Amino acid sequence: METRGRVIGIDIGTTSTKTVVFTEKGKVIASHAIDYPIIQPNVGWAEQDPDVICAAVYKSVSVAIEKGNVLPEDISSIGISTAMHALIAVDENGAPLTRSIIWADNRSTKQSEKLLQQMNGHEIYRR
């Protein structure tokens, strides 16, 4: 049986990471998902631990390729999708210094409203 030509899709979402292994024709071979929490230390805040998300990605991929009996040389492509925008402060080596402030965080609502009064959204985006 020919096993080459496996495609891996990785969806790094807001509440979980899911990895799916496909044939090049789109047939699902295996999948695995790992959930993780949204941390809400205050009302309107939404954060996540970047190390927890990275670990979930590694584990999800490892388990899915193990379930599908996929060897590294079988993989022809990998697609990655992530959950919207987030902010993480990192050190000079790229290691996280803070939790990730995710798209669902509302702590900057007042600042956003003030910016919108000063200029329109297209101008903000253009900058």
User: Whole-angstrom Cα distance, residue 104 to residue 39?
Assistant: 11
Q: Which of 11, 10, 13 is nearest to 86 (CA)?
A: 13
Could you state, in order of their start, the residue ranges of all structural domains in the chain? Answer: 6-126
What is the dotted CATH code of the domain comprising 6-126?
A: 3.30.420.40
Q: Spell out the per-residue pLDDT of the chain, length 127, in tens.
A: 555 799 999 999 999 999 999 999 999 999 999 999 999 999 999 999 999 999 999 999 999 999 999 998 999 999 999 987 888 999 999 999 999 999 999 999 898 888 778 777 677 677 7
0.85 exceeded by pTM: no
